[in-house]
Amino acid sequence: MKKHFDARTKLGRYVFQMLDVSVKLKPDMRERVVRVHNLIAADPDDASLKFKLKSDLDTLAREPRLSAIVRMLWKELPST
């Protein structure tokens, strides 16, 4: 059974929290958050997500408002 991407899963909650917080951030940071959302929404079970998102998540983790959410999101991503 395929894992759905919605707010009921931990992964979904963290992504939607990032989207909510990103409204108050600069446009370049918001762009990265939307890119992360789109990649995860396309296939939440993809084992290579950590590799695809590493640079974006590293940049987002430097933002104080997002750092805790990014750390929790990283732990929830499927591992290889």
CA 38, chain centre distance (Å)? 9
pLDDT tens string 51-63 = 999 999 999 999 9
**Domain presence at residue 2:** no
- How many domains are contained in the chain? 1
Please give the residue range of the domain that contains residue 26.
Answer: 10-76
First to last CA, the chain: 18
- For position 45, what pLDDT does the model report? 85
**Domain presence at residue 1:** no
pLDDT tens string 7-50 = 788 888 999 999 999 999 999 999 999 999 999 988 888 889 99
Say if residues 69 and 21 touch (Cβ distance below 8 Å): yes
- For position 44, what pLDDT does the model report? 85
Rounded to whole angstroms, how far apart are CA atoms 2 and 63?
32
